[in-house]
Amino acid sequence: MKKLSRQQWLFVGIALICFAVLKAGLIYWYLQNKGSELQRQDVSCSNLQQGCTLPDGSVLRFDRAPRHSQPFLISLGKTAGAAPAAEFSMEKMDMGFNRYRFVDGNTQWQAKVTLPVCISGSGDWLLDLKYADRSYRVRFKSQ
């Protein structure tokens, strides 16, 4: 195996220092912007299959009762602006990355969602819906 020259060691050292500075900068940026989220409103919905009217007047609807590992469709009444995003989580439990971007379905936004299995067997989900300058949290149960 070939030994590294003094110049090569210097290059490796500079590269590692640059990487560390970049990483520290990204962590700093994340921590500074973490608190700048939109003011989230909690929304109570008794039956998401029948539809739930959000405070802005749009209607959120599931096409069927959500079951883990089985896809279901979410629709949201069409609003102006960028496509909405939905993020699914559970209280005090890391469920991984479960973020979905809605696509244009002509008269409404749509997202095809598949929820992961929770090892505790819990079906208590949180849906954080974000679009335009709005942020809503909807609690629901999966089967």
User: With helix as H, strand as E and coil as C, how does 92-137 read?
Assistant: CECCCCCEEECEECCCEEEEEECCCCCCCCCCEEEEEEEECCEEEE
Q: What letter would DSSP give residue 40? A: P
Q: What is the pLDDT of residues 24-81, one digit of tens each?
A: 998 888 777 665 556 888 999 889 999 999 988 889 999 999 988 899 999 998 776 7
For 88-97, give one letter per residue: b (16+ CB within 10 A) or e.
Answer: bbbeeeebee
Supply the pLDDT for residue 127: 92
pTM of structure: 0.69
Supply the pLDDT for residue 138: 93
Q: What is the pLDDT of residues 92-140, one digit of tens each?
A: 887 888 899 999 888 899 999 999 888 888 888 999 999 878 889 999 9
Token pair 């109570």 is found at 44
- What mean pLDDT value characterizes the chain? 87
Residues 7-11 have a mean pLDDT of 91
Supply the pLDDT for residue 22: 94
Strand partners, 85: 101, 130
